[in-house]
A and B are shown apart, each in its own frame.
Chain A
Amino acid sequence: DIVMTQSPDSLAVSLGERATINCKSSRSVLYSSDNKNYLSWYQQKPGQPPKLLIYWASTRESGVPDRFSGSGSGTDFTLTISSLQAEDVAVYYCHQYYTTLWTFGQGTKLEIK
């Protein structure tokens, strides 16, 4: 199985400031035949199911604010929130769908400083 490791486990950022969450996979999730990274990012708020933010590592889901962006390739990925808003307080997960058995990172809890 591919192990997804996020850093940090928790993060406190001031409103309007940038938040950066990292995700490292134990092996590459870049599929050579289509040159796509099989990685997505989810946001989860208490009592709610996860919400898809980013897929193919950098494609923003429809309706997701453009302050959210994804980057990276191969084994190292980043989710960036360019200007933190109060409604962004949540837990964020990276997720690989490259292998037969899909896996999630352990989550990063984002709070307001």
Chain B
Amino acid sequence: EVQLVESGGGLVKPGGSLRLSCAASGFTFSHAWMIWVRQAPGKGLEWVGRIKSKAEGGTTHYAAPVGGRFTISRDDSENTLYLQMNSLKAEDTAVYYCHYTTHAPAFVDYWGQGTLVTVSS
């Protein structure tokens, strides 16, 4: 059974930093492209970024609002995905979801339950 469990959320001051973790199990994590998606309170889903597998270069891509401030990384030995968030702003307040999806050979799609990040003084 695939499980994605996020942790590390909490209250942080504007300009501060926070690192989120996503512990993965039930699939071959090292082969997976992993994604972060966020949702501000009462708002819609926003794609944050993605990291490819190390075999595919471990390339990362970020949405414009977080580029240069957020960094996605992975530890395949621990089956864990990370989101390092720096220079946090009030508008980064959101539930952050870890997302695993593959489109071939079969389409699979799993989400964690999310972790809440609140940026406030």
Contact = CB atoms under 8 A, between A and B. Distances in A.
B107 A59 contact: yes
Contacts of A1: 63-64
Nearest to B4: A49
Nearest to B45: A104
A55 interface: yes
B54 interface: no
Contacts, number: 46
B74 interface: no
Interface residues of A, number: 23
Interface stretch (B7-15, B21-29, B83-91, B111-119): B111-119
Interface of A: 1, 40, 42, 44, 49-50, 52, 55-56, 59, 61, 91, 93, 95, 97, 100-107
B50 to A, nearest CB: 7
Interface in B21-66: 35, 37, 44-47, 50, 61-64
B37 to A, nearest CB: 8
A101 B63 contact: yes
B87 to A, nearest CB: 20
A98 B114 CA distance: 25
Contact of B111 (A50, A93, A100): A50
B32 to A, nearest CB: 15
Given A97-B103, A101-B61, A101-B63, A52 B45 contact: no
A49 B113 contact: yes
A56 B107 contact: yes
